[in-house]
Amino acid sequence: MNEIAPFDTRVDPSVLAARLSDERAPDIVEALNDEAPEVAAAILLGLPTERAIEVLDQPELDCAADIIEMLPRDRVAGYLSGMSADRVTDVFREIEEPGRSDLRARLDAETRGAVDRLSAYGEETVGSLMTTEFVTVPGTWTVGQTLEHIRHVEKTRETIYAIFVLDPRTRALTKAVPLRRLISGDPSDNVLSVAPGRRPLAVSPTASREEAARLISKYDLLALPVVDAVGHVIGIVTVDDMIDAMIEKQTQDVQRFGGMEALPEPYMDIGFFTMIRKRAGWLCALFLSEMLTASAMQGFEGELEKAIVLTLFIPLIMSSGGNSGSQATSLLIRALALHQIRLRDWWRVALRELPTGIVLGAILGVIAVIRIVAWQKFGLYDYGEHWPLVAATVGAALVGIVTFGSLAGSMLPFLLQRIGFDPATASAPFVATLVDVTGLVIYFSVALLILRGTLL
């Protein structure tokens, strides 16, 4: 729509700030993300304070921690106190000591207390994602009183999607009233008259982010209350925070599935050595495991010398096992993540993948046999006098390897979940490596079976 074109960076930051100050905060964020942190900080200082706070509050701002550390200390306290506590907590996680303690000391008492509480929760928990700004009213209030209260707090609470009604005595959450139902009520009636019949859904601060995401998407919620052990509301997870968390998780999942550690920042912002580190770890681990293929082939050295024709098909056969495994893994990662399948269903999946693998392997086997026969008959290549047996070996090995690939690939996510990992830790290269070594053993075993007495 009306997004901002990149601008000439030689222009004075205060000029840029003036040009940006009328834009929407997310657009300002995009413009700042294209700048070095020191330029971004200078631009931010040129914006009206309210605008600057709005910009710093956006989780999409890439180098927020760096920018905040560069701001003059007398200005930074004002900015931080205006930001939402959950965002300050996220930013603080990326600031090294002693900078963090210094900044923490500059917060007003209320924000500092909220940040301290939020930082106690692990990064993957609901507690670290929740907003501490929400609206509660006692169950003794009327609809009119509640509306009047909202009019007062509307300016400071950006996220009024629902009003939480508390038990007047215990202050525990009893109902959640959507804003639109509140409007439809009679102002003189009790607020509970417009409340839905059911107890509200809620989540514990120590629950996983995925659990909150699942509840919000399943029940189409705009905000999910977070309650402590005695039922007091301590925060809410809003749908927009949840979407940000979902997008982040999706990126991590894709990167992990690609066979590397997830990157903490966008591709272009990652330093060269961080990039190497995030990729080299898995690459080396896979390489070391894959070395077993060299050992396996050393073990079959005698066979290799007698029948070099067998080596021609090694890459073809092994890659097929890896590919079918990668398909099965991607299917099961998502089915488990969406709760379409539970851990106890593993045997159902195995019973499906077994025939699926056999049929897929047979299809590839037939193609391979046709190719060998065709090349032999049309004189494109001579596979030796025992070529029909070679063709049979390749075809049969493909059935075995693709079946093994489908089974191994589908069971891996279950195994990971069983031992307490995210099934999405499974990656295509990991499955391929797993299948490669076994694939070689299957291939040479089939060869020994079929070719013994002729080639071998």
Residue nearer to a copy of itself on the CB measure, 121 or 383: 383
Q: C-beta of 21: minimal distance to a copy of itself in Å?
A: 12
Shortest Cβ 308–a copy of itself spacing (Å)? 6
Q: 39 vs 358, which CB is nearer to a copy of itself?
A: 358
- Residues 6 or more apart whose Cβ sits within 8 Å of residue 393: 310, 443, 446, 447, 450, 451
Shortest Cβ 277–a copy of itself spacing (Å):
11
Q: Which residue has the tokens 């657009």?
A: 27
Minimum CB separation of residue 400 from a copy of itself in Å reads 15
Nearer to a copy of itself, 192 or 296 (CB): 296
Residue 423 DSSP label: G
User: Closest separation between CB of residue 324 and a copy of itself, Å?
Assistant: 6
73-82 and 99-106 helices, crossing angle to 10°: 70
Which residue, 101 or 206, is less far from a copy of itself as judged by CB?
206
Residue 355: HSE in the Cβ half-sphere, 13 Å Cα cutoff:
4
Tell me how crowded residue 362 is: count the other CB atoms within 10 A of its CB: 16
Report, in Å, the least distance between residue 332 CB and a copy of itself: 7
Identify the sign of the CA torsion 442, 446, 447, 452: positive
* Minimum gap (Å) between residue 104 Cβ and a copy of itself: 27
Contact 307, 447 (CB under 8 A): yes
Between 67 and 76, whose beta carbon lies closer to a copy of itself? 67
| C-alpha to C-alpha distance for 246 and 240, rounded to whole angstroms | 10
Closer by beta carbon to a copy of itself, 96 or else 301? 301
Measured CA to CA in angstroms, residue 179 lies from 126, 135, 185, 222 at distances of 23, 11, 10, 11
Output 10 or 151, the one with its CB closest to a copy of itself.
151
CB of 171 to a copy of itself, least distance (A): 20
Q: Cα-flanking dihedrals φ and ψ of residue 418, to 5°?
A: -60, -40
Give the integer Cα–Cα distance in Å for 161 and 91: 25
Q: What is the SS3 assignment for 176?
A: strand
Enter the tokens of residue 52. 């600057």
- Determine how many CB atoms are found less than 10 A away from the CB of residue 450: 21
Closest to 203 (Cα-Cα) out of 167, 172, 233: 233
Closest CB to a copy of itself among 138 and 178? 178
Question: Cα–Cα–Cα angle for 6, 7, 9, nearest 5°?
Answer: 125
Q: 171: phi > 0 → left, psi -120 to 50 → alpha, else beta; which?
A: left
Pick 105 or 268: Cβ nearer a copy of itself: 268
CB of residue 255 to a copy of itself, shortest distance in Å: 5
Give Cβ neighbours of residue 416 (< 8 Å, ≥ 6 apart): 422, 423, 425, 426
